[in-house]
Amino acid sequence: MKSDSDKNKTITDINSADLDSDMNKTLTDVNSPDPVNNTTADGEDDVMVSESTGDAPYDAKRQRLMVLLPLLGLVGIIAILIIVFGLKFGLWACSSREYHYEATGDIDVEISDSQDYYVAFDKELVAGRDDDDTYILFLGDDILTYGETSIAEQVADNTGATVYNCGFSGSSYARDAEKLSLDTCDDVFSFISIATCIMTGDYTMLDYYKTYANIYEAEEFDKSLDTLEHIDFNDIDIIFLCYGTNDYLRGHNTKNIYNPSSQEATTGALTLGMEAIHTKYPHIRFVVVSPTYGFYTSEDGTKISGDLYYTGIPADEQSPDNLETWGRSYESLAGYVSAINDIAIRDNVTYLDCYYDNILHAENSDKYMDDAIHVTDEVREYMANKLSDYIKFRLYFT
């Protein structure tokens, strides 16, 4: 900081060009202004401070600098933030999803934020299993059984893996009721029920209740049941869980805030099912595959985007006096997808996003959907290629 003598010297230098030779006086010779009347001792109005002091121009510059410096600092911070976020976006764009398999045909792909979550499995559990022989089980609903092409078969062709396809059309993660009865026989084909059978090795329950289930399709279901009963799960390396929109369409809870392990909640059933299978076969690696985009169909047949239509029970219709409604979720299809994603991350399970990262989205649903819930062959091919990429290049030690 400058001393008073230096400051006076600076002031003198600033004003020297404007001073006449006969005004070369010391600062003490200048009349001081009257602070009340704003006049000098000579009685003249002191409209401006005497030129000989030079204090006013210096103070004005200093005040301007004090105002400008914070503004310049703020501009600098904003510029830095823009540069940082710009670099991050550029890096993301350059490293966004690049799959080793590409779908064939005329397919328009919209690049969107992928929610893929890869987990490196415990090396001790897969010790000796990272060979060329990969055994895969697919569990799920219509996405595995509908249409002329099969995701499971395409994955087998792409990877050379041994693949078992055990889809049950119309099934879901969760059950409609906590206890199985003749009124809720569809629940026998839910993931939590299938997982329990795999853990115990007893499929009697499925054989007994299947003919009472509304969703039962004899040829398809009997083939899947026969396959399940004859699999040696000690050989299975991966189980792909490919359940679509049925939990959403049935209005199942995404989660039960009072009972996280509820089999009637999508996330509770998902967690319990994986835990049941791991109890008997801890080496098996789970991969949760998200639902695809879809619609809700109203009673009059109107299709409503799953992003816009909520199922469940609205909060204002719930009451603590009614335990059947209290704490129920009220979610869009995107809400279900998010809940499944969250539970996969929480349970440290690989998650493959086929909702946001897909050729199918709201704007082209007429092209890539056969109806409100079933996707076309092109979408299944895209999904099969994505799953194949995981098996070939990200399987054991990602």
Q: Predicted confidence band at 30 (pLDDT cuts at 50, 70, 90)?
A: very low
58: part of which helix (H) or strand (E)? Answer: helix 55-94
Q: Which two tokens stand for residue 289?
A: 């595959």
The Cβ of residue 86 has, within 10 Å, a number of other Cβ atoms equal to: 10
Q: Predicted confidence band at 59 (pLDDT cuts at 50, 70, 90)?
A: low
Tell me the average pLDDT across 51-72. Answer: 64
Q: Predicted confidence band at 385 (pLDDT cuts at 50, 70, 90)?
A: very high
Instruction: Note the maximum CA span of the chain.
Output: 119
Regarding the domain delimited by 135-393, which CATH topology (the fold level of the hierarchy) does it fall under?
A: Rossmann fold (3.40.50)
The Cβ of residue 254 has, within 10 Å, a number of other Cβ atoms equal to: 25
Write the Ramachandran bin of 128: left for phi over 0, alpha for psi from -120 to 50, otherwise beta: left
Q: State which amino acid sits at residue 363.
A: E
Burial class (CB in 10 A: 0-12, 13-18, 19+), 381: buried
Q: What percent of the chain has pLDDT over 90?
A: 54
pTM equals: 0.71
Q: Which residues, other chains included, contact 70 with Cβ-Cβ below 8 Å and sequence gap of 6+?
A: none
Asked if the model's pLDDT at residue 110 lies above 60, the reply is: no
Residue for token pair 């299938």: 194
pLDDT tens digits, one per residue of 117-147: 988 766 676 666 666 688 999 999 999 999 8
Q: Where are the domains of the chain?
A: 4-53, 135-393
Coil, strand or helix at 296: strand
pLDDT tens digits, one per residue of 250-304: 999 998 877 888 899 999 999 999 999 999 999 999 999 999 999 999 999 999 9
pLDDT tens digits, one per residue of 178-204: 888 888 999 999 999 999 999 999 999
Taking the CA atoms of the chain, what radius of gyration do you get in angstroms?
Answer: 36
Query: Angle formed by the axes of helices 55-94 and 4-15, to 10°?
Result: 100
The C-alpha atoms of residue 203 and residue 226 are separated, in whole angstroms, by: 10
Listed residue (166, 164, 167) closest to 236, CA to CA: 164
**Per-residue pLDDT at 56:** 59
Burial class (CB in 10 A: 0-12, 13-18, 19+), 15: middle
Which of 75-79, 124-128, 171-175, 326-330 has the highest mean predicted lDDT (pLDDT)?
Answer: 171-175
Q: State which amino acid sits at residue 53.
A: T
342: part of which helix (H) or strand (E)? Answer: helix 333-346
Whether residue 153 contacts residue 163, with contact meaning beta carbons closer than 8 Å, is answered with: yes
The more confidently predicted of residues 257 and 172 is 172
Asked if the model's pLDDT at residue 10 lies above 80, the reply is: no
**Rounded to a whole number, what is the distance in angstroms from the first to the last CA of the chain?**
59
Asked if the model's pLDDT at residue 104 lies above 80, the reply is: no
The C-alpha atoms of residue 237 and residue 284 are separated, in whole angstroms, by: 5
pLDDT tens digits, one per residue of 335-368: 999 999 999 999 999 999 999 999 999 999 999 9
Tell me the average pLDDT across 322-332. Answer: 77
pLDDT tens digits, one per residue of 206-247: 999 999 999 999 999 999 999 999 999 999 999 999 999 999
